[in-house]
Amino acid sequence: MPIFSKRIVEEELERIRVANLPPEKPEAEEVEETEELEVTETIQTDEVKITAKDVLAMIIAAFSIIIPYALIFLGLTALIVYLFFR
């Protein structure tokens, strides 16, 4: 009996075909029930707890965005003042 017999190849092709089929659409009632369950699950799991470390990280992130622009502004202001009053 050869390794690649016709029956084995056909069985493998059938398994591949079934695996690639789109999932069957459930009945409308089942869809509504699962959607309601998903909504309630997401509402219950959306609890956000902000700790002091989170606030510190947000402050540092804001400063890391603002400080370079502030330093450029102060540097340009100092350069302009120096050039006008020398």
Q: Residues 42-76: pLDDT tens digits?
A: 555 566 788 888 999 999 999 999 999 999 999 99
pLDDT top residue among 32 and 7? 7
pLDDT digits (tens, 9 = 90+) for 18-34: 888 877 765 656 666 66
Amino acid identity of residue 74, one-letter, is L
Which pLDDT band holds residue 12 (cuts at 50, 70, 90)?
confident
Report pTM. 0.40
- Bin 64: left if φ > 0, else alpha if -120 < ψ < 50, else beta: alpha
What pLDDT is recorded for position 74? Answer: 97
Supply the pLDDT for residue 10. Answer: 86
CA gap 19, 10 in Å, rounded: 14
Task: Give the pLDDT mean for 5-15.
Answer: 84
* 7/27 Cα distance (integer angstroms): 35
The label of the residue with tokens 């017999």 reads 5
Distance in angstroms (rounded) separating the CA atoms of residues 48 and 55:
13
